[in-house]
Amino acid sequence: MTGNQFLNFFLLSVMELPATILGNILLQSMGRRWTQAILFILASLGCFAGAALVLYPELYIVSIIVVILTK
């Protein structure tokens, strides 16, 4: 990431806080197996979405996502 490395580290740390809290809540309510399965599925969907952005830039929905992410 470009910019101030200290600000970037702070922002990454701030983003990790809600993820840790949500992970602990899900772990306590659903157990380790289902929490891992759901989060792995979400991560793989994110990877597929990133691949679609690269492979199919001419699709209308991809152009909308690119515009949203670059603003």
- Average pLDDT, 10 consecutive residues per value, the chain (71 residues): 86 91 92 92 90 82 79 68
Tell me the C-alpha distance between 22 and 55, whole Å: 32
Give the pLDDT confidence score for residue 69 in this predicted structure: 75
Give the pLDDT confidence score for residue 32 in this predicted structure: 92
DSSP string, 14-39: HHHHHHHHHHHHHHHHH-HHHHHHHH
Give the pLDDT confidence score for residue 1 in this predicted structure: 67
User: Which single residue is written with the structure tokens 């702070």?
Assistant: 10
Domain residue extents for the chain = 1-30, 42-71
- pTM of the entire predicted model: 0.62
Give the pLDDT confidence score for residue 63 in this predicted structure: 80
